[in-house]
Structure 1
Amino acid sequence: MPESEQQYEFSEFSGEFVDDDVMVTIGIYRPAGTNGDWTLEVVDQEGYSTVWDDLFSTDREAFEEFLATIQRDGIRSFLDLSIHTVH
């Protein structure tokens, strides 16, 4: 199936996240109908996307990695346009 037609299942951890007056949208997803690994993507207010290279066994692991990144680097690290793939 072409990727443009791929359907995705989104985790309950997906959604908007606000910290330090910056809002990002978290997407934690995997191909629908599978037990595959989860992708973590963060989209900033300008629409720039940061996607982790590594996949996660559970959606909780992906969300915990997002929180660890916020704690380590700050939410503003997602506003740096030179970063598009992470970790």
Structure 2
Amino acid sequence: MTDYPAPKMSALCRSLTRDGRTVQVDIYADGEDGWLLEVVDEYGNSTVWDDPFPTEQGALDEVMETINEVGIGSVLGPEPGAGHQNEDI
């Protein structure tokens, strides 16, 4: 089995709460001079941006803009057992 090193996490990772809902914003190095953005909701659903960002700040700015403009529901997945995707995406 190959052991892979843990990804380098950004100091900009944080929890965000809007409208009573909380998500974890994770930003980590992609190993090729870029930064990956992942948002994990309170149910463990994960939203990952397809393309890396050139900077950590750029990744944070993107998720903040998305949440502020579209709403936190845009990065929330279904509740366990709900069987459907959220309607904000």
Fold shared, TM-score > 0.5 on shorter chain:
yes
Once the 2 structures are TM-superposed, how far is the Cα of residue 53 of structure 1 from its aligned partner?
A: 0.3
Question: Greater relative contact order: 1 or 2 (C-alpha under 8 angstroms, separation 6 or more)?
Answer: 1
**Unmatched 5+ residue regions in structure 2?**
79-84
Q: Is 2:28 the partner of 1:41? A: no
Q: Which runs of 4+ in 1 moved over 6 A?
A: none
Gaps of 5+ in 1: none
Output the CA distance in 2 between the equivalents of 1:53 and 1:6: 22
Whether 2:25 is the aligned partner of 1:26: answer yes
What is the TM-score when the length of structure 1 is the normalising length? 0.79
Whose strand fraction is larger, Structure 1's or Structure 2's?
1
Aligned residues: 80
Q: CA RMSD in A?
A: 2.1
Percent of pairs identical after alignment? Answer: 35
Separation in 1 of the partners of 2:71 and 2:15? 16
Larger C-alpha radius of gyration, 1 or 2? 2
